[in-house]
Amino acid sequence: MRNLKMTLAYDGTLFHGWQVQPDQITVQGTVQSVLTEIDGPPVLVHGSGRTDAGVHALGQVVSFNLNNPIPAENLSRAMNHVLPDSIRVLHAAEAAPDFHARRSAVAKTYEYRIWRGEICAPFLSRYVYPHPYPLNEDSMKQAAPLFAGTHDFCSLGAAGGEEKQTTVRTIYSSQLQRDGDCLVYRVRGTGFLYRMVRNIVGTLLDVGRGNLKPEDVGQILKSKQRSEAGPTAPPRGLFLVEVEY
């Protein structure tokens, strides 16, 4: 039995998230059914983590076992022929027998894009969160790095996102920057709780609106109360950018 590693990009708009659910079209379900068609026996695909409905991926990593001896490059081409345009296989390769997309991951990077222009082009609107209202961006930029470090993040998410019982995670970097008409939040860490990135962005937006101050971030983390942090930002601005091993 071979063990394969594959990198995927997808537009999450029309999927009910990553994870297989009965009677719903999901990314995992779509990829599994294409692989099962190629291999014969059902193929179980492990993702590096779940993404919610509407969340996109530039570099989701998956692993799976395969009986079929098809070379990895041909497999990738065959899959792109059959998969919908909204999912692309970017790369496929043999992996060590013990490689596991979720358990072997050592770091992940996410990006969240907030559109600050007055009018958001129809061609962008699935990939940014349009927010044309006043925001104190300097306060937001000050607040962003305060999420870095090793913390119990239970005020910003729930366990379950990555099937670990603890809510302690390490964020290596957390930065907010302008990129033209976009305000881009980029975060890299060991892993993230369920909805944690969107909850951080929602908290940063509350800082931008003046409902919270940058210096409140420390207290929010200490409180361990979800109610202390800001609301969950919409999924469409979020991209899983990279998974490191």
Residues in contact with its own copies by the rule CB under 8 A: 9-11, 56, 80, 85-90, 119-123, 125-127, 130
Cα(184)–Cα(144) distance, rounded to whole angstroms? 11
Q: What angle do CA 184, 83, 67 make, to 5 degrees?
A: 115
Q: For residue 52, indicate whether it is catalytic.
A: yes
Distance from C-alpha of 55 to C-alpha of 63, rounded to nearest angstrom: 20
Report the alpha-carbon distance of residue 169 to residue 200 in Å, rounded: 13
> Tokens at residue 122, please?
């129809």
Question: Across-strand partners of 152?
Answer: 168
Nearer to its own copies, 43 or 57 (CB): 57
Nearer to its own copies, 6 or 217 (CB): 6
CB of 222 to its own copies, least distance (A): 38
Least spacing, CB of residue 119 vs its own copies, in Å: 5
Residue 140 or 182 with smaller CB distance to its own copies: 182
CB of 194 to its own copies, least distance (A): 24
Q: What is the dihedral of CA 184, 26, 171, 168, to 10 degrees?
A: 150
Considering 52, 181, 206, 216, which one is annotated as catalytic? 52
Report the catalytic residues. 52
